[in-house]
Structure 1
Amino acid sequence: MTINIPDLEPNLNPAPIQANDDVTSNWDEQSVASSTQSLTGSIMEHVYENGRRYHLKSKEQYLLPSDETEQDRLDMVHHLHLELLRGNLTLTKFDEDPATVLDCGCGTGIWALEFGDTYKGSQVIGIDLAPIQPGWTAPNVKFELDDLEKKWTYAKNHFNFIHSRHLTMSIRNWPQYLLQIYKHSAPGGRIEIVEHCNDRYFCDDNTMPDDSPIPAYFRAVQPCYEKLGINSRLHGADYKKMVEEAGFVDVNLYSFKVPAGPWARDPKMRRLGAICAELISTGAEAYAFKMLTDVGGMTEDEARKVVEDVAASFLNRHQHAYYMEYFVTARKPE
């Protein structure tokens, strides 16, 4: 099956996002609210800490919660990527339905289900640590619980397409993880690795001062990442290099700027920024609260202030912060 994706050239340095200086203008709050609310109805054992639910089996390895609030956020992340790719599930183009597909870290399963629905000739497996996928699936989609950093039990040279998205908090050994992806990809098989910067947010016009809660947030969480063995300083070129070193060819890196808030002049970018701000409203807590209290030694009140301050900053349209989304596409040699 051929999908219509606008031709995109690999881009390491996207152009600056133009800010909308008219802060009184209507940035379509109603439509953004409607689109975010429509996702809340989408699609074992847990423990409860600080008012959030965590999957018991994986909570020491994966510190993000697994409750409905987090599941809604994960579905919203999927929505963000659909907006970013103009409604497409991947940047990878297929001439025919890939026969066997693996979705690594499938979360709620929303990407796997939509991929299976779009590519009906594909057999899709979604794998994750936490059992938060729906009990019903399409005939060509199934979900499995496993640890991606342990030895894979799938057949080697098997998968025609492997998809991996936002696993920066899950994968400790990226070279080993990518080597397993290589071993279990079929000759000629395609992969797509999607990650984001997790050590800073950027600003091109000096509207984000050093004493802003945004850089303060990252200064607080960085020591926690290091203690946990998480390399949060990886960026697009790092992922591209590791994919090449794993043995893949035709490796391309696509870098996208995503405004962290509804401050951009362009309507599409402003909508992306509004979705991003909605994500951050719960994502800042999901990513940081447990780390700051359990690993960073902060009190609950101290951690709460860090989280609430940064969430409020992303709604400040005078601070033109953005983060980077990285897509790495590649192919295993025949």
Structure 2
Amino acid sequence: MADDKSPSPSPTTSPNPDQGLVAETQSPPRDDALEVDEEENQDNDSTYNLSEGSASQTSSINSSILNYRYLNGRRYHAFREGAYFVPNDEEEQTRMDLVHHIYSLMLDGALFLAPIGDHPQRVLDLGTGTGIWAMDFADDFPSADVLGTDLSPIQPQWTPPNCRFEIDDFEAEWLYHTPFDFIHARELEGCIGDDNRFFQQAFQHLAPGGYIEMQAVAAPFLSDDGTDEKAVNAQLWLKTLCEGSAKFGKPIDCAPLWKDKLIAAGFENVREEIRKMPLGSWPKDPKLKEIGKYQSIQEAKAIESYTPQIFSAVLGWSQEEIQVFMAKVKNEIKDPSIHLYLPVHFLWGRKPAS
């Protein structure tokens, strides 16, 4: 039984809060510091087709793919069991769709930043989740053939006619016969074991002149007024998650490294834009206030999704310790006196036309 004290991570499993974060990340420019709204009244508030030819040979839905694993009250994927440490149940699907809404707000309704032109013909969405990005893209570009892939068959049955889904593992060898004009991947931090191989395969399967775009959050939590120093448990949680995911073999603090790796893979005109994603409705700017309102809800759900497997199976924490710690982290996330934000990296690059 756990005692009434907060979990005290051992040196081999979880870090001391006074130590520096494992992840070194590029911070957004400080000259655009987020302004706090001092008057804010803070409330605590598918269709599946035969695989095009990936080495995972995932052709159709069968009983083994749908034979989910259940751990600690959450449901996890069965295909390539253990490859991903986040659940795929309805609670997680709600969080995924909330993430999509937050990114839509950040991008003023756009789905991407890369200059892909008006007539992309073949589009690949990796780690499609519920498929919401792929379906929105298919609606916006009716002449495009949009393919979304994921380890979990959680996409809807009814989709736009130009959108389809496959159960697939993008870490296996890609054997697509026809190249893509655009490859999109959102929040694949914690999903990729070999970044270099991932970008090399994406490069090989893009048509000349085609684009790749990555969208991902980086650690640690930041603030523009020093209040991040008060978020001791939240920072410890993210630091420990970074260490645990690295031990798992798929680090979540990888986005700041991707620009150089895109260039190394052969992409040209590589661009990176870092935007601030606030947690809470404390920003004075109306748009950021709305983003922060939804992000505080999403982050609380993310803590519930990302923590259990990494902290227990990888780092050896007990479920009692995990529950106590998560409660402390979520209390700091919703504290109106702590003005946290996360840096979000938008990166895109082009395969040379010749």
Query: TM-score, length-normalised on structure 2?
Result: 0.82
Residues 333 and 315 (structure 1 numbering): CA distance in 2 closer, same or farther, change over 3 Å?
same
User: Is the counterpart of residue 232 in structure 1 residue 248 in structure 2?
Assistant: no
- Partner Cα separation in structure 2 for residue 293 and residue 313 of structure 1: 22
From 296, 301, 311, the counterpart of 2:330: 311
Give the equivalent residue in structure 1 for 2:123.
Answer: 101
Q: 2:171 corresponds to which residue?
A: 149
**CA shift for structure 1 position 268:** 0.8
- Contact 1:12 1:253 (8 Å CA) reproduced: no
In the TM superposition, residue 13 of structure 1 has moved relative to its aligned partner by: 2.3
Q: Which deviates more from structure 2 when the two are superposed, residues 307-316 or residues 90-99?
A: 90-99
Asked if 1:19 is matched to 2:39, the reply is no
Distance 1:12 1:264 in 2: 16
Q: What stretches of structure 1 of length at least 5 have no aligned partner?
A: 1-10, 30-43
- In structure 2, which of residues 255, 269, 272 is the aligned counterpart of residue 253 of structure 1? 272
Paired residues in the alignment total: 306
Q: Is the 8 A contact 2:230 2:338 kept in 1?
A: no
Q: Distance in 1 between matches of 2:112 and 2:71?
A: 35
> 2:180, 2:206 within 8 Å by CA — same for their partners in 1?
yes
Query: Secondary structure at 1:131's aligned position in 2?
Result: coil
**Stretches of 4+ aligned residues off by more than 6 angstroms:** none
Asked if the contact 1:107/1:128 (under 8 Å) is kept, the reply is yes
- The residue number in structure 2 matching 1:322 is 341
* Native 8 Å contact 2:221 2:228 kept in 1: no
Output the aligned Cα RMSD: 1.9
In the TM superposition, residue 24 of structure 1 has moved relative to its aligned partner by 3.0
Q: Does 1:131 align with 2:148?
A: no
From the superposition, tell whether residues 317 and 265 of structure 1 become closer, same or farther in structure 2 (CA, over 3 Å). Answer: same
Q: 2:240 aligns with which of 191, 209, 220?
A: 220
Task: Choose from 118, 132, 141 the match for 1:110.
Answer: 132
Any idea what SS the aligned residue of 1:333 has?
A: coil
Q: Which runs of 5+ in 2 are unaligned?
A: 1-26, 46-65
3-state SS of paired residue (2:227): coil
Q: Which amino acid aligns with 1:225?
A: S
* TM-aligned CA deviation for residue 321 of structure 1: 0.9
Deviations 1:220-245 (A, max 9, x none): 32331221112333243x21111111
Instruction: Report the Cα offset of residue 219 of structure 1.
Output: 3.4
Aligned to 1:187: 208
Instruction: Give the superposition deviation at 1:266.
Output: 0.9
CA contact 2:116–2:182 (8 Å) conserved in 1: no
1:35-184 equivalence runs, <5 A: 44-155=66-177, 158-184=179-205
Q: Residue 129 of structure 1: CA displacement? A: 0.8
Correspondence for 1:301 among 302, 316, 320: 320
Deviations 1:117-152 (A, max 9, x none): 110010000011111111122211110111101100
Measured after TM superposition, the shift of residue 73 of structure 1 is 0.4
Q: Give per-residue Cα distances to partners, 1:293-327, cap 9 Å, x unaligned.
A: 11111111111122222122111110011101111
Residue identity (%): 32
Q: 1:113 and 1:233 mapped to 2: Cα distance?
A: 28
Give the match's secondary structure for 2:94.
Answer: helix
| Distance in 2 separating the partners of 1:127 and 1:219 | 30
